[in-house]
């Protein structure tokens, strides 16, 4: 394909001629009155202090399922245990090491960006992949990924999403509250542009046994998780979650870090919007798309310059300049090479996942994940659900064996 598809802006609503403001028509709509299902675990990649886990710990307690807290930076397993203890929730908390210290497969997409300005500095993808592997090995079929700044008002929405996994490969909650977009798309919206949100890893139900996709180490990793080799997998949206507010323009580095992942994901999904496939995103396609991306950022920047002179306008301008500067280093060859590497990684990950034993006890799952030397906390509800007992905390977890059920589940006795 030598030319990018036309944008799909909504007439009369600030649609940009250089940008697709929505991809939501790609999603099936799960019925809000759908029957309730069963959730096996809530998986939270967390980097904030333990107070950020209070809400999700309460959800885990209400659903009688374990909270799997994958901790790094300001989060740690012991603090997660205190949050779970206060809520009376079952818990598996792990201080997650660097990705190369875990038994995750080497990925060509990661190697392609290593030691370049595009190398990602966060570990959220590695934590999500670790959550997939642990869940797959212990036999959990219905897990929900939740970010630690997401609120779910109706826990029934999680149960409905889990039930829809009977039909779909992934079910996301519609994210309300503060919009969950890239920095450039936030600026587009703030200046009158038509910009919707999509589903993603912030609130996403998946079956890690049936589905063998993975999260590449790049911004918009969840958009790539939802794809197969050609197009979007069977994916639906139901219910509602709420994103806590944040300042997307607080530092220009955020826009720099997002730009490559935003270009790749928006480019691929613009093809899907018009019935194309991932494999049509060849070098010729990226020549056209990158030109359109430059015009899009120019367009948004001009609109920002017409806004009242405020501190936010100044921050938006700096962020857009940072994104545009990073865009100058993104070439058609890099984009085509990344997708080629990603397709190879899909095969590599699928073969790796299918070799893992399932179901196994937690002890074996953690060993196979390469976590022997990490701080790990396991807690479960006491008999009859009365009281909450700390069962295990150690850098060695041989004692876990007798505390888990034969299916590997954690929760009420």
The C-alpha atoms of residue 149 and residue 49 are separated, in whole angstroms, by 11
Q: What is the reported pLDDT for 379?
A: 80
Handedness of CA 39, 40, 45, 50 (dihedral sign): positive
Give me the pLDDT at residue 389, please.
39
- Angle at which helix 252-273 crosses helix 283-305, to 10 degrees, equals 130
Task: Tell the residue number behind the tokens 């809000």, with chain if given.
Answer: 32
Instruction: Tell me phi and psi for residue 48, to 5 degrees.
Output: -95, 170
How far is it, in rounded angstroms, from Cα 329 to Cα 181?
Answer: 22
- The residue among 288, 197, 187 whose CA lies nearest residue 247 is 187
pLDDT at 34: 73
Q: Write down the pLDDT at residue 373.
A: 62
Please answer whether residues 67 and 76 qualify as being in contact, where contact means their C-beta atoms are separated by less than 8 angstroms: no
Distance between CA atoms of residues 40 and 248, nearest Å? 33
Q: Which residues make beta-bridge pairs with 232?
A: 227
Alpha carbons within 13 angstroms on the beta-carbon side of residue 22 total 14
Cis peptide before 126 (omega within 30 of 0): no
| Calpha distance 6→143 (Å, rounded) | 37
pLDDT at 32: 67
For the chain, 413 residues long, give each residue's pLDDT as a single digit of tens: 444 455 544 433 356 899 999 999 999 987 667 789 999 999 999 999 999 999 999 999 999 999 999 999 999 999 999 999 999 999 999 999 988 889 999 999 999 999 999 999 999 999 999 999 999 999 999 999 999 999 999 999 999 999 999 999 999 999 999 999 999 999 999 999 999 999 999 999 999 999 999 999 999 999 999 999 999 999 999 999 999 999 999 999 999 999 999 999 999 999 999 999 999 999 999 999 999 999 999 999 999 999 999 999 999 999 999 999 999 999 999 999 999 999 999 999 999 999 999 999 988 899 899 987 667 888 876 534 433 334 344 433 333 333 433 344 554 33
C-alpha dihedral sign at 308, 314, 315, 319:
positive
Q: How many CB atoms lie within 10 A of CB 238?
A: 25
**pLDDT for position 271:** 97
């Amino acid at each position: 394909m030598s030319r990018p598809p036309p944008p799909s802006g909504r007439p009369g609503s600030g649609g940009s001629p250089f940008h697709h403001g929505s991809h939501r028509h790609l999603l099936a709509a799960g019925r809000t009155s759908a029957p309730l299902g069963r959730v096996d675990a809530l998986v939270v990649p967390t980097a904030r202090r333990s107070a950020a886990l209070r809400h999700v710990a309460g959800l885990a307690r209400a659903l009688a399922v374990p909270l799997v807290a994958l901790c790094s930076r300001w989060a740690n397993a012991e603090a997660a245990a205190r949050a779970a203890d206060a809520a009376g929730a079952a818990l598996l908390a792990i201080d997650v090491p660097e990705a190369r210290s875990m038994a995750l497969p080497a990925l060509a997409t990661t190697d392609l960006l290593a030691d370049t300005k595009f190398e990602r500095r966060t570990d959220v993808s590695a934590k999500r992949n670790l959550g997939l592997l642990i869940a797959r090995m212990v036999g959990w079929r219905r897990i929900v990924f939740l970010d630690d700044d997401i609120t779910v008002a109706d826990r029934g929405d999680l149960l409905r999403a889990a039930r829809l996994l009977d039909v779909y490969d992934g079910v996301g909650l519609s994210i309300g509250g503060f919009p969950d977009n890239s920095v450039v798309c936030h600026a587009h919206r703030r200046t009158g542009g038509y910009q919707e949100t999509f589903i993603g890893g912030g609130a996403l139900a998946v079956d890690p046994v049936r589905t063998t996709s993975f999260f590449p180490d790049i911004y918009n990793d969840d958009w790539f998780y939802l794809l197969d080799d050609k197009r979007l997998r069977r994916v639906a949206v139901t219910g509602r979650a709420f994103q806590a507010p944040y300042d997307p323009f607080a530092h220009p580095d955020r826009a720099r870090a997002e730009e490559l992942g935003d270009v790749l994901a928006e480019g691929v999904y613009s093809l899907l919007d018009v019935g194309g496939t991932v494999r049509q995103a060849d070098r010729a396609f990226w020549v056209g798309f990158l030109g359109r991306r430059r015009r899009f950022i120019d367009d948004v920047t001009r609109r920002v310059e017409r806004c009242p002179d405020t501190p936010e306008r100044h921050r938006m301008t700096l962020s857009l300049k940072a994104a545009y500067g990073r865009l100058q280093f993104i070439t058609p060859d890099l984009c085509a090479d990344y997708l080629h590497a990603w397709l190879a990684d899909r095969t590599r990950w699928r073969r790796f996942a299918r070799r893992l034993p399932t179901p196994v006890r937690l002890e074996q799952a953690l060993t196979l994940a390469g976590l022997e030397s990490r701080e790990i906390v396991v807690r479960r509800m006491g008999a009859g659900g009365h009281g909450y007992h700390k069962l295990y905390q150690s850098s060695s977890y041989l004692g876990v064996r007798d505390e888990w059920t034969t299916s590997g589940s954690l929760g009420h006795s």
